[in-house]
Amino acid sequence: RMKWFFFLCVCCIGINTYAQKSKVVLVIDPGHGGKDHGHLAHFKNNKPEKTLNLEIAQKLGKYITENLSNVEVHFTRQTDTYSSLDARVEFMNNMKADYVISIHCNGSANPKVYGTETHIHDFKSKKSYHLAREIEQQFKQRAARHSRGIKDGKDRGHSIQLLKYTEMPTVLVECGFLSNQAEANYLSSVYGQEIIASAIFRAFRTFVKKQHPAIDFEAAKPKLGEKVYRVQIMSSIELIKKDPSFTKLGVPVEAVEVNSQSMYKYKYYAGSFSTKKEASEMAEKARKNGFPDAFVVLLE
């Protein structure tokens, strides 16, 4: 009887700990760095892989911290520094991260090869596979990139240390081929990096909401002053004064100019609400009416 009592207590503690989880820890790993250049730039005015990995990773981290609450983001590096694979794996495991996204760029002896790939250890890693699938779907369907699909150890013919020895779901994203001139130019541009980073962000957002339905990822951080909830429905490079889709929402849509280094210069907000419930209902309506990325934000 005592043995069964102890077993039930342990199980209850485990279940209760899982139920009380209030945030997700994500490690973003910009591959290579320092003396490890990764793939070198093949063409004039392009950047080496280590630089592109860091720039894309930083943009991804910014999208996540600005648009998702209850996600704690850590980087394996934030400057051009070298860190061994052993050190990276140790950092991720010690951080007790829930997920890892490693950012890389590809290369080939054939300059005609191009496209994105997302790597996992093997297809038994179900959560890694689901995240990889979301990323490649975003690349293909929303970012208009050529997806070469999801690759595992059998496809590669070898394992990858970062994927094999991390203790949490981990994906390694190959954002494109630096040996293909058109793709190298794209990845070296701010525009290309933002498209790639935003695609990975959208994939992670979809994935993490499915995995953790009890966590409110749209909950805004506390601010002083009156709470006003708004629904951001889109961003754009050029100002859009009128769009027929706006009228479907039944509320005023305001364009706000953004003062940032991002390529997107305008954000569009539908309505203004005093409660999060009202704003969430509008966000759901917007998603059903042509704005799939609509989300709730809290403004003062």
pLDDT tens string 62-75: 889 888 999 999 99
Q: Is the pLDDT of residue 126 over 90?
A: yes
At residue 228, the pLDDT reads 81
pLDDT band at 30; cut points 50, 70, 90:
very high
Mean pLDDT of 271-276: 82
Kindly give the pairing relationship between strand 228-236 and strand 266-273.
antiparallel
At residue 20, the pLDDT reads 56
Burial class of residue 245 (count of CB atoms within 10 Å of its CB; 0-12, 13-18, 19+): middle
At residue 131, the pLDDT reads 98
At residue 197, the pLDDT reads 94
Q: Which residue has the higher pLDDT, 290 or 173?
A: 173
pLDDT band at 237; cut points 50, 70, 90:
confident
pLDDT band at 15; cut points 50, 70, 90:
very low
Q: Which two tokens stand for residue 252?
A: 């005023």
Q: Find the radius of gyration of the CA atoms of the chain.
A: 21
Query: What's the CA gap between 138 and 10, in Å, rounded?
Result: 40
